[in-house]
């Protein structure tokens, strides 16, 4: 067998057994519409890129991280000081999480504004909401793992918030904490969730999300879907993928540069008995929620400010989840109101975040 025929030979051997032809035919025929909103199509694959980076760096960190309250902080200090280039791996993991969450927020907001969730893509949106929640949970559980005084305080506050949910609140808090308070059990629980439960759930829902996208095709923005014939299209492979590769290269370059020049530091080991340190803040993607809770008065009529705020947030979340079913007449006035709400939310989130930072 000639060397030239080796790869195609192996390909043919595998094809006889796996039968890839259908998949490769699908990929070759897949088309991506070209219009002024095409730029947002790039967010999806970039999220996957950063998730992949998280998995790889996360596995490497898990080789040395020890999830007990005695060892957690020390093991990360060891990763940063002793393990060769450990500080870079940790820094990449830290920055890539921010990049991934930022891209998820971009992705979600763009879909909201161009209303890609219209029939028949409602389930794609709903699975996407689950993916958003899982991603935020990744960030939340990961934040505790260094077990320094800031992450302990942030986790105490963060796991206390669900307590304000009517009826099930205390139960949720106990489930998250592994008891009434944040202890070593919380740490091991968060670590187990971070490296097994969340990745498995994410992969499962991601498969559904991606399947739906391939099955239903790329959506067209409002107005253009009536003029489908006039819309230019690009083949997904290789035209669109080459363009995506350019985006991946630029984003990875920015990621590694930031990771090398702005690595995260490690605070001193948490003390369960110490008072809360000054200036505790959650990660940036939770700041607007943090500030929203702060501005609510401590009591309103018969309920605490917290209960009202959390209930309102939950209600907003539920409405958000069912958005495709609510916005079923997007061209009409209701649809325009919902678009306005999307812009309002962006401005609200930015303003609250800035406010919480300058306080």
Tell me if 260 sits within 8 A of 88, measured CB to CB.
yes
Cβ-based nearer residue to another protein, 81 or 316: 81
**Least separation in angstroms between CB 141 and another protein:** 15
**Least separation in angstroms between CB 52 and another protein:** 13
Cβ-based nearer residue to another protein, 283 or 327: 283
What gap in Å lies between CA 95 and CA 261, rounded to an integer? 11
Tell me if 201 sits within 8 A of 132, measured CB to CB.
no
Give the DSSP letter of residue 246: H
Cβ-based nearer residue to another protein, 85 or 302: 85
What gap in Å lies between CA 9 and CA 296, rounded to an integer? 68
Cβ-based nearer residue to another protein, 28 or 68: 28
DSSP states along 121-176: -HHHHHHHHHHHHHHHHHHHHHHHTT-BHHHHHHHHHHHHGGGGSTTTHHHHHHHH
Give ∠ CA 310-201-30 in degrees, rounded to 5.
Answer: 110
Cβ-based nearer residue to another protein, 215 or 294: 294
**Least separation in angstroms between CB 123 and another protein:** 25
Cα four-point dihedral sign 239, 32, 126, 289? positive
Give the DSSP letter of residue 237: I
Per-residue tokens: 335:
């649809």
Cβ-based nearer residue to another protein, 218 or 258: 258
Per-residue tokens: 242:
């080459």
Residue carrying structure tokens 């280039």: 85
**Least separation in angstroms between CB 292 and another protein:** 16
**Least separation in angstroms between CB 17 and another protein:** 22
Give ∠ CA 236-39-53 in degrees, rounded to 5.
Answer: 75
What gap in Å lies between CA 136 and CA 292, rounded to an integer? 17
**Least separation in angstroms between CB 53 and another protein:** 10
Please tell me whether residue 69 adopts helix, strand or coil conformation.
coil
Cβ-based nearer residue to another protein, 256 or 296: 256
Cβ-based nearer residue to another protein, 60 or 293: 60
**Least separation in angstroms between CB 275 and another protein:** 8
Per-residue tokens: 153:
């305080």
**Least separation in angstroms between CB 120 and another protein:** 25
């Amino acid at each position: 067998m000639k060397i030239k025929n080796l790869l195609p030979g192996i390909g043919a051997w595998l094809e006889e057994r796996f039968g890839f032809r259908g998949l490769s035919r699908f990929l070759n025929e897949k088309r991506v519409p070209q219009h002024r909103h095409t730029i947002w199509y790039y967010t999806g694959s970039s999220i996957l890129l950063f998730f992949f980076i998280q998995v790889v760096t996360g596995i490497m960190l898990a080789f040395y991280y020890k999830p007990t309250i005695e060892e957690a902080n020390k093991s990360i200090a060891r990763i940063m000081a002793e393990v060769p280039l450990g500080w870079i791996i940790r820094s990449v993991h830290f920055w890539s999480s921010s990049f991934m969450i930022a891209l998820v927020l971009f992705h979600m907001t763009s879909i909201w504004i161009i209303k890609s969730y219209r029939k028949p893509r409602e389930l794609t949106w709903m699975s996407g909401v689950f993916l958003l929640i899982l991603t935020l949970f990744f960030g939340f559980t990961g934040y505790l793992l260094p077990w320094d005084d800031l992450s302990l305080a942030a986790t105490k506050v963060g796991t206390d918030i669900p307590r304000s949910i009517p009826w099930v609140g205390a139960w949720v808090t106990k489930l998250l904490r592994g008891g009434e308070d944040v202890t070593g059990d919380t740490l091991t629980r968060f670590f187990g969730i971070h490296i097994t439960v969340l990745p498995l759930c994410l992969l499962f829902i991601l498969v559904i999300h991606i399947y739906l996208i391939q099955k239903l095709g790329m959506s067209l923005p409002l107005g253009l879907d009536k003029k489908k014939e006039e819309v230019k299209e690009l083949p997904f492979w290789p035209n669109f993928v080459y363009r995506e590769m350019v985006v991946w290269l630029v984003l990875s370059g920015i990621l590694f540069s930031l990771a090398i020049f702005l690595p995260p530091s490690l605070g001193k080991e948490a003390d369960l008995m110490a008072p809360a340190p000054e200036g505790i803040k959650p990660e940036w993607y939770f700041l607007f929620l943090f500030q929203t809770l702060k501005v609510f008065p401590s009591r309103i009529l018969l309920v605490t400010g917290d209960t009202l705020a959390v209930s309102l947030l939950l209600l907003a979340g539920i409405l958000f989840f069912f958005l495709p079913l609510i916005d079923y007449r997007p061209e009409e006035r209701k649809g325009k109101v919902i678009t306005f709400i999307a812009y309002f939310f962006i401005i609200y989130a930015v303003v609250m975040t800035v406010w919480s930072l300058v306080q």
